[in-house]
A and B are shown apart, each in its own frame.
Chain A
Amino acid sequence: MDYTLLIVQMLNGLQLGLLLFLVASGLTLVFGILDFVNLAHGSIYMVGAFICASLTLWLGNFLLAVVIALPLTGAVGYAIEVLVARRLYDKDHLDHVLGTFGLILVLDTLAHMIWGPAGITVPLPAWLDGQVEIFDGAVIPTFRLLIIAVGLAVAGGLFWLVNYTKLGMLIRAGASNRTMVAALGVDIQTLFALVFALGAMLAGLAGMLIAPITTASIGMGGQIIITAFVVIIIGGIGSMKGAFIAALLVGVIDTMGRSFLDSGFALFMSRDAAETAAPAVSAMMIYILMAAILAFKPQGLFPPKVR
């Protein structure tokens, strides 16, 4: 076994997992507190990527673009909450799904009109564009290390926010009993809008971080949203800890499957058969993982205690 490759792929899996966590955390936060299924979360991820891409090209500075794009994406999320999402909260989940499906069509088409059908490549500053040799022979792009660092920092920040701040206290209280929190004089509507905007910023940040690697493009939201749903189903919908663990699990397993499954299969079947079977199985791997976990724990690894 090639250990250098193994470690590099572990880090790639970790990076994918942390990106998934950024998207899934917003999804699970909004669901946990607002009981709202937001399919359009992936479109906000896309909007974040496009805003950041435009700003990078305009300002010539990727980091500055991210700093400006974050509150802008948050504002987009806030606007969506006020204009559409707010009116859907007291309807059932089916209506959430359809309403936000409509929202995807609207947001994707608007992005198409504004930024055109082709994707936008995001240039990185020279100091981020290189590679780092972690140890003998194991090389990883600097930018991927940055994604890992940012992902871990955001995860820590969210943990602190939810558990040790007043806003976090309100968020947790709102999640377990909405009516009670409102009765205590908290402006629940503003709180909800803030949570929604926070989720939008997290998704947007993920989009901004992936854009330099894959380009900002129209279909990007639809791809990640399903994986993010798989993550929060595995983790337990509404659980932040569950989302974190499940995101890393999915990220690592998906990456490992894609890189090592064919050599694994080749141990007990012909080379040709392995090369046919491996891509098919690795494409389904995270869904098989989800099915296996749900077969034993229908509410995911960390089912929310309340409700």
Chain B
Amino acid sequence: MLKMNKTGWVTLIGMAALAILPPLLLLNGQAFYMDLATRLVILAIAAVSLNLILGFGGLVSFGHAAFIGLGAYAVGIPAYHSMWGGFDLIASSNGLLHLALAVGVSALFALITGAISLRTKGVYFIMITMAFGQMAFFLFQSLEAYNGDDGLTIDLRSELPFLNLDEPMQLYALSYGSLVLVMLLVRMIVNSRFGVVLQGSKGNAERMVTLGYNPYVYRLTAYVISGAICGYAGFLLGNFTTFISPDMMHWTRSGELMFMVILGGVSTMFGPVLGASIFILLEEVLSSFTTYWHLPFGLMLIGVVLFIRGGLMGLFKGKGE
């Protein structure tokens, strides 16, 4: 029998609940909860990707929403052109093309901005990633061809082999499956030699240099991987909402992603997923009570920062873990 600690059980139960509950609710005609769960799982993927660099790499990226936006526009722009003509190079509803674009463009953006941002440290890094995120936001806001600020409606979802994303159940299955794979991928990365160097650079970069490693290269690689995964989450989100706008990239969205990771617990496998779940559920519950739901939400955020160390996963940790 596999011996499991408390966090292991929480992870298992949480992931099982996400696998079973939403499809059951959908079968009982509760499509609303399926919608909620799909959004939750997609944002959880983004949060897991952020946790790779924020939690394990100690790199506080405040511009991660830009990758979500890039991924979503990688669905929206080709779909738009396949419908209305123009830009023949990418005009297509082929999901594999969308996917390649989402991941490729995000990785490229991460490579370019990361190469510059990672030359800085600490608070400079926080602010410069935030500024690059805003740069992407303003770029798409000024692109009149894609309706600028008003956003773009995706008329056709990505066409994938074997899957029909118009079916909520299949979209959820894809999103959930992706979340599991991404969590396993991040776990594999973290436990690899690469991951050990990355975490070592977080604790003491000079020691890593002395040991003959170049932290910059490791950090940049992690940043690109994280950006690419987040772009993939954007690909799913675009297909889920079928409406995309620059607002997806706004710096407050990046702040929300960071909050999910911190709330759930940095440097844990399930923390970002838990954080994203609580975030989405709270948002839903509070906003149903009052239009001023940002007030209790903001107070709670301050409370979490002041009083909960190590996030919610920290509460489940036993002694000596």
Q: Which residues of A contact B (CB under 8 A)?
A: 31, 37, 39, 84, 87-88, 91, 93-95, 97-99, 101-106, 108-110, 112-113, 222, 226, 229-230, 232-233, 237, 276, 279-280, 282-284, 287-288, 290-291, 294-295, 298-300
Closest to A303 in B: B124
A-B contact pairs, 25 of them (CB 8 A): A37-B127, A94-B60, A94-B126, A94-B262, A97-B258, A98-B305, A99-B305, A101-B301, A102-B301, A102-B302, A105-B294, A106-B298, A108-B294, A222-B251, A229-B131, A237-B124, A276-B144, A279-B142, A282-B142, A283-B139, A284-B135, A287-B132, A290-B128, A294-B120, A298-B124
B300 at the binding interface (Cβ < 8 Å): yes
Q: What is the CB-to-nearest-CB distance from B142 to chain A, in angstroms, rounded to a whole number?
A: 4
Is A280's CB under 8 angstroms from B128's CB? no
Set of chain B residues within 8 Å of A37, measured between Cβ atoms:
123, 126-127
Inter-chain contact A101/B255, CB cutoff 8 Å: yes
Q: Mark B274-314, 1 if CB is under 8 A from A, else 0.
A: 00000000000000000010110111111011100000000
Q: Is B194 an interface residue (CB 8 A)?
A: no
Pick the 6 closest A-B CB pairs, nearest first.
A105-B298, A102-B301, A287-B135, A106-B298, A283-B138, A102-B302
Tell me the minimal C-beta distance from B272 to chain A in angstroms. 14
CA distance A300 to B131 in the complex (A): 14
CB-based contact A97/B255 at 8 Å:
yes
B255 touches A98 (CB 8 A): yes
Determine how close the nearest CB of chain B comes to the CB of A303; give it in whole angstroms: 10
Q: Is the CB of A88 within 8 A of B305?
A: yes
A226 in contact with B251 (CB, 8 Å)? yes
Q: Which of B93-148 contact A (CB under 8 A)?
A: 113, 116, 119-124, 126-128, 130-132, 134-135, 138-139, 141-145
Chain A contacts for B113, CB-based, 8 A: 291
Given A39-B255, A287-B131, 9 other A-B contacts at CB below 8 A?
A37-B123, A94-B126, A104-B252, A104-B298, A108-B294, A109-B292, A283-B139, A294-B128, A298-B124
Shortest Cβ distance from B306 into A: residue: A87
Query: When chains A and B are docked, how far (Å) is the Cα of A282 from the Cα of B248?
Result: 21
Is B56 interfacial (CB 8 A cutoff)?
A: no
* B259 located at the interface, meaning its Cβ lies under 8 Å from any Cβ of chain A in the complex: yes
Contact assessment for B130 and A105 in the assembled complex, using a CB-CB cutoff below 8 Å = no
Give the docked Cα–Cα distance between A229 and B134 (Å).
Answer: 11
Cβ B124 vs Cβ A295 within 8 A = no
C-alpha gap A125/B251 in the complex (Å): 37
Q: How far is the CB of B59 from chain A (nearest CB, A)?
A: 10
Residues of A within 8 A of B240 (CB): none
User: A295 — which chain B residues lie within 8 A by C-beta?
Assistant: 116, 119
Find out whether the CB atom of A291 lies under 8 angstroms from the CB atom of B295: no
Docked pose: A280 CA to B295 CA in angstroms: 35
A280 and B143 contact, CB distance less than 8 A:
yes
The winner among B121, B123, B300 for most chain A CB atoms within 10 A is: B123
| Contact present for A103 and B302 (CB under 8 Å) | yes
Docked-complex contact A99 and B302, CB < 8 angstroms: yes
Within 8 A of A (CB), among B201-244: none
Min CB distance B251 to A, Å, is 6
- When distances are taken between beta carbons in the complex, the residues of chain A under 8 Å from B292 are 109, 112-113
Q: Is B62 an interface residue (CB 8 A)?
A: yes
One of A95, A113, A280, A298 near B120 (C-beta < 8 A): A298
User: Contact: B124 with A299, CB < 8 Å?
Assistant: yes
The reply to whether B305 and A95 contact each other, CB–CB distance below 8 Å, is: yes
Contacts of B297 in A (CB 8 A): 102, 105
Q: Given A99-B306, A237-B123, A283-B138, is A109 in contact with B131 using a C-beta cutoff of 8 Å?
A: no
**Closest A residue, CB atoms, query B62:** A97
Q: Is the CB of B255 within 8 A of A106?
A: no
* B127 engages A91 (CB within 8 Å): no
Complex CA–CA separation, A95 to B304 (angstroms):
10
Complex Cα spacing A299 to B139, Å: 26
Could you say which of B131, B262, B292, B304 has the most chain A C-beta atoms within 10 Å of its C-beta? Answer: B131
Q: A97-B62, A105-B295 are in contact. Are A298 and B301 (CB under 8 A)?
A: no
Q: Give every chain A residue within 8 A of B116 (Cβ-Cβ).
A: 291, 294-295
CA distance A105 to B294 in the complex (A): 6
- Which residues does chain B contribute within 8 Å of A105, judged by CB atoms? 294-295, 297-298, 301
Q: Which residue of A lies closest to B259 (CB)?
A: A98
Q: Are B306 and A287 in contact (CB under 8 A)?
A: no
Instruction: Determine the chain A residues whose CB is within 8 A of the CB of B119 once the complex forms.
Output: 294-295, 298
- Determine the chain A residues whose CB is within 8 A of the CB of B255 once the complex forms: 39, 97-98, 101
- Distance in Å from the Cβ of A83 to the closest Cβ of chain B? 9
- Determine how close the nearest CB of chain B comes to the CB of A98; give it in whole angstroms: 5
Tell me the minimal C-beta distance from B295 to chain A in angstroms.
Answer: 4
Q: Are B60 and A284 in contact (CB under 8 A)?
A: no
Please name all residues of chain A whose beta carbon is closer than 8 Å to the beta carbon of B132 when the two chains form the complex: 287, 291
A276 to nearest B CB, angstroms? 7
Bound form: Cα–Cα A113–B121 in Å: 39
A-side contacts of B127, CB under 8 Å: 37, 229, 232-233, 237
A279 CA to B141 CA in the complex, in Å?
Answer: 10
Q: When chains A and B are docked, how far (Å) is the Cα of A294 from the Cα of B120?
A: 8
Cβ–Cβ contact A84 & B126, under 8 A: no
